[in-house]
Amino acid sequence: MKNWIKKDITKDQVKELCQKYGIDSLTASIFARREITKGNDILFYLEDDLRFLHNPFLFNQMEDAVDRILDAKDEGEKVLIFGDRDVDGITSTTILYEYLKSIGIDITFKVPLGDEAYGMNIETIDEFAANYGTLIITVDCGIANGPEIAHATELGIDVIVTDHHNPPEQLPENCIIINPKVSDSGYPFHDISGCAVAFKLIQALRYASLDYYKEEICLLNACNTEDGYRIDCVKLYNNLVVDNITIDNITDGLRISDTKLVEFLKGQSIFTWDDKETKKALKEIFGTAVEFNTFELRPEIAKIIPPVANLTLDQLNEKSKIARYNENQSSLLDGFVNIYITYFQQIANKAFAAHEQQELQLVGLAALADVMPLQNENRIFVNYALKIINSGKARRGLLELLSRLNLLNKRITATDLSWTLIPAINATGRLGQPELSIQILLEEEPSKRNEIADKIIGLNTERKSLVSIATELTSYNAQISYEKLSKICLVVEKSIHRGVIGLISSKLTQKYHVPSITITCIDDQTAIGSMRSCRGLECTQFLSQFAELFSNYGGHSKAAGFSLPVSNLHELQKQIEKAALSINLQDENDNDIIIDAELPASYINHDLFKIVDLFEPYGENNSTLTFMSKNLKIIGYQVVGKTEKQHLKLNLDSGEHKIPVMFWGAADKINSEFNVGDNINLVYNVERNVFNGMETLQLVALDIQK
């Protein structure tokens, strides 16, 4: 019997969220139960504008990366992008290659083909050096390639690492590193994809093409308050607040030399919101001997954002959408800063929106493919990608694949992409031909894209067959391993295809609810393995125990890979089995159903879609909303499906209307656990049922209690 768990929350919690963020009580209660109560977290559920993405220059070394790339452009250098074979690596390589080529850089790319290993390799570096190459940019790899980077440096090649994998204890030296997981990266959100990191680099390069790159500007306001005059200044550099100063309780006759203003404002462009009032206050504070050279921004901003034309700075603060989510607002200029950055974003959109629209479709795909947590800016990436694709503007390459996967002319969800499009693109890398996916995304000729799309779909069919074969070959030994080790499942099967070992590990983890490792051999000398984890065990940390046996290894907390000499394989098995004895896994109770909200029967209607859509996209760290309703009457049923475990389609009476419910694999429950005429309590998800273009609400039962 399953446990229904609905976390207790208080009316005050719900009321506070409703008042602060202007949301209804049902939405507020779901936020409270999911412990999404901080403004910086709620923002990414209530807002989807690109304005809310983090500034790329928050990466401490982003400016260095931009300058090095611009130098390469100016000097006509040869540049190589080094990517990976999975969806994240394919999309990263595509968008960076596309952008660098568009600005005139002599650019080529390299991704692992056939049985080539993940990450940088010496052969490619030597070949690039022989061709007079001088700059390598890695995407979705590189952070674990210290020796290879050192070799490149010896050959006079500079390296920029853009990656998102867990860094090793010893970072690569003599290179520029853009990786949110590096401890001193400066970036506020660690869990973005490799493609998102590449997109951040592109954003920074685009900003560098504008007039204000590396320019310090100052926003200034002076006013009279109850406690005397007050001066606020905020300094921005690359659209980031880097310094601020406030002087308050000022009386008449203050000498400017007695303040920090002269040094603070030296050599900067100074902008005001209301120039007349600000200069009047400054004159009353410092007298006529001091003159400030300022420029009023309000009229310029009003041309782009008309509603602000007649607002005072106080009113601007009150209406600032960003300020609503900022729990640490400390300056009277916060609203000014926010509207200035929004204004700048609008200007940039006019120049770059069409290109970003194409790139962000791939960034959204990468977030789903690499199972990034659907929190923070990942929500904007995925929602934006879905919005563009569903508007009929899918980018070249994706359009052809979506057509063959029968995903056009319907509302595509994150789940659709994860279960259909992403596996098809991944199949090219798994079967050693990732260049096909890059080609289809770059190819301008429609007929050629159609030819490539057919090849990709063919590879995906082959991938499915290889998974079936591998599943059959590994099932017996997997069962034996699980029974023996209990806390980990380890399978070594030398005859399965290298491209599906990650999928087999995922299947084993889902089946046994323990971390799983699948190993195969690509030849007589080299074995490769893939690990998938759960219940709190971190992959890279676990694998680090066996580092001396590996040729290389790396990855994320929940997924990682490695290679090693076949001669080390037996020793690795022994050490993993020994290590399994001391693994501590978090408890995982499959019988627990966590309920987001209890709904009266009258709430079960199309209005629920508004709530369900608000919390989209669903996936990692953002599970599908689960509701509970009580005292619903079964008025009819139908057994459906031709599989061994048939499904149950129920009709319930809510008192106002009939409610359709699907209960998958539960046909045996009717007339045993409940019958027609019974009143039941129901735990369920809400989904759209689309038939002949008509969209209706359908519940999917998770559990029923009579």
Q: Taking residues 323-329, what's their average pLDDT?
A: 73
> Average pLDDT for residues 200-204, to the nearest whole number?
98
569 and 613 in a single domain? The answer is no
Ramachandran area for residue 376 (φ above 0: left; ψ -120 to 50: alpha; else beta): left
Tell me whether residue 364 is in a domain: no
Measured in degrees and rounded to the nearest 5, phi and psi for residue 51 equal -55, -25
Strand partners, 296: 272
User: Taking 90 as the threshold, does the pLDDT of residue 118 lie above it?
Assistant: no
* Residue 354 domain flag: no
Q: Is residue 335 part of a domain?
A: yes
pLDDT in tens, 626-659: 999 999 999 999 999 877 788 999 999 977 788 9
Q: What is the end-to-end Cα distance of the chain in Å, rounded?
A: 12
> For residue 507, which of 537, 542, 475, 459 has the smallest C-alpha distance?
475
Using the CB atoms, write b or e for 415-446: b if 16+ within 10 Å: ebbbebbbbbbbbbbbbbbbbbbbbbbbbeee
39-49 pLDDT, tens digit per residue, is 999 999 999 99
Per DSSP, the residues of 184-215 read T---S-----HHHHHHHHHHHHHHHTSTTTT-
Read off the pTM: 0.94
Question: Is 80's pLDDT higher than 90?
Answer: yes
- Spatial distance between the Cα atoms of 617 and 614, rounded to a whole number of angstroms: 8
Coil, strand, or helix at residue 374? coil
Cβ–Cβ < 8 Å for 351, 166: no
233-262 as b/e, with b when 16 or more CB fall inside 10 Å? bbbbbbbebeebbebeebeeebebeebebe
Exposure letters 571-581 (e unless 16+ CB within 10 A, then b)? ebeeebeebbe
- pLDDT tens-digit map of 337-362: 989 998 988 888 888 989 999 999 99
Residues with Cβ within 8 Å of residue 624, at least 6 apart in sequence: 618, 685
Q: Are residues 165 and 222 in the same domain?
A: no
| Spatial separation of the C-alpha atoms in residues 222 and 272, rounded to whole Å | 9
Given this model, what pLDDT does residue 375 score?
96
The CA distances from residue 340 to 83, 202, 603, in Å, are 36, 22, 42
Ramachandran quadrant class, 554 (left: phi over 0; alpha: psi -120 to 50; beta: rest):
left
- Domain termination site, one of 546, 580, 614: 580
Its sign, for the CA torsion 45, 47, 50, 51, is negative
510 and 624 housed in the same domain: no
**Torsion angle in degrees (nearest 10) through CA of 659, 665, 668, 671:** -10
What share of residues in the chain are helix, strand, coil (percent, to 5)?
Answer: 45, 20, 35
| Predicted local distance difference test score (pLDDT) of residue 330 | 58
Residues 22-35: pLDDT tens digits? 999 999 999 999 99
CA distances from 289 to 222, 257, 608 (A): 17, 12, 65
Q: Supply the CATH number for residue 470's domain.
A: 3.10.310.30
Which residue has 């210290």 as its token pair?
146
Specify whether 222 is located in the same domain as 165: no
The CATH number of the domain holding residue 336 is 3.30.420
**HSE of 398, CA atoms in CB hemisphere, 13 A:** 27
Both 533 and 625 in a single domain? no
Query: Which domain-ending residue is among 580, 614, 631?
Result: 580
Find, among 441, 461, 459, 366, the residue nearest to 400 by Cα.
441
Q: Which residues contact 143 (CB under 8 A, 6 or more apart)?
A: 161, 163, 165, 166, 167, 168, 171, 172, 177, 179, 181, 182, 554
pLDDT band at 115 (very low <50, low <70, confident <90, very high): confident
Residues 70 and 178 in one domain: yes
The stretch 575-587 carries a mean pLDDT of 93
Kindly tell me if the per-residue pLDDT of 219 is higher than 70. yes
**Residue 415: inside a domain:** no
Q: Please give the structure tokens belonging to residue 462.
A: 């082959």
Is residue 157 predicted with pLDDT exceeding 90? yes
Q: Is residue 428 part of a domain?
A: no
Range of the domain at 282: 216-346
Is pLDDT above 90 for 120? yes
Note the pLDDT tens digit of each residue in 592-612: 899 999 999 989 988 899 999
CA separation for the pair 596, 592 (Å, rounded): 13
d(CA 585, CA 485): 13
pLDDT, average across residues 253-267: 84
- Reported as a pLDDT band with limits 50, 70 and 90, residue 403 is very high
Q: Which two tokens stand for residue 368?
A: 């789903």
**Distances in whole angstroms, Cα of residue 54 to Cα of each of 204, 210, 368, 384:** 11, 18, 19, 15
| Domain assignment present for 444 | no
Domain of 116, CATH number, reads 3.90.1640.30
User: Both 497 and 543 in a single domain?
Assistant: yes
Count of CB atoms situated within 10 Å of the CB of 357: 18
Q: Which of 553, 580, 607 is the last residue of a domain?
A: 580
Same domain, 297 and 180: no
Task: Tell me what the pLDDT averaged over the chain comes to.
Answer: 93
- Residue 291 has a pLDDT of 86
Percent of the chain with pLDDT over 70: 99
Rg (CA), the chain: 29
Sign of CA dihedral 146, 147, 148, 154: positive
Residue 658: CATH number of its domain? 2.40.50.460
Q: What is the rounded distance in angstroms from the CA atom of residue 360 to the CA atom of residue 375?
A: 16
The predicted model gives 422-450 an average pLDDT of: 97
Residue 62 CA to residue 72 CA, distance in Å, equals 15
Is residue 55 predicted with pLDDT exceeding 90? yes
Q: Is the model's pLDDT at 54 over the cut of 70?
A: yes
**Closest by CA position to 614, among listed 55, 8, 22:** 22
Same domain assignment for residues 677 and 702: yes
CA 310 to chain centre: 38
Q: Does 599 lie in the same domain as 574?
A: no
Q: Is residue 24 part of a domain?
A: no
How far apart CA 136 and CA 128 sit, in angstroms, is 9
Rounded to an integer, what distance in angstroms lies between the CA atom of residue 507 and that of residue 509?
5
Are 77 and 180 found together in one domain?
yes
Q: What is the pLDDT of residues 454-492, one digit of tens each?
A: 999 999 999 999 999 999 999 999 999 999 999 999 999
Domain count, the chain: 4
State how far the Cα of 287 lies from the Cα of 254, in Å rounded to an integer.
9
**Residue 225 sits in the same domain as residue 300:** yes
In a domain, 23, yes or no: no
The pLDDT assigned to 331 comes to 66
Name which residue leads in pLDDT, 56 or 255: 56
